[in-house]
Amino acid sequence: MARALRDAGFEVIYTGLRQTPEQIAAAAVQEDVEAVGLSILSGAHNRLLPEVIRLLRERGAPDILVFAGGIIPESDIQGLKEAGVDELFLPGTATGEIVRYLRERLAA
């Protein structure tokens, strides 16, 4: 996904695998990003995503757009959106769809 976004003209800062919510929020604030994209395959999305959002707000960055993809049950989507996740992409989503989403949301 990072390569697809870079190829579409986005500046991408990839921080690597297995980052804690604290590390993600700190990097996002330090790099002054517009969006944070997370891939969650561990099943911990209901804990990790809201925690990243909480930490971004705590660090004075509530305007950073948070989106995610991965193995997320449909039954969890509404709760994650209510927690502040802007969009969720399930397995099989075309990279072009994610690029379009980001272009539209970041232009708004």
- Predicted local confidence at residue 81, as pLDDT: 98
With CA atoms as reference, report the closest residue to 77 among 85, 98, 65.
85
- Mean pLDDT confidence for 49-71: 98
Burial degree of 107 (CB within 10 A; 0-12, 13-18, 19+): exposed
In the predicted structure, residue 108 carries a pLDDT above the cut 90: no
CATH class of the domain comprising 2-71+86-107:
alpha beta
Confidence band for 82, pLDDT divided at 50, 70 and 90: very high
In the predicted structure, residue 45 carries a pLDDT above the cut 90: yes
In the predicted structure, residue 32 carries a pLDDT above the cut 90: yes
- Predicted local confidence at residue 87, as pLDDT: 98
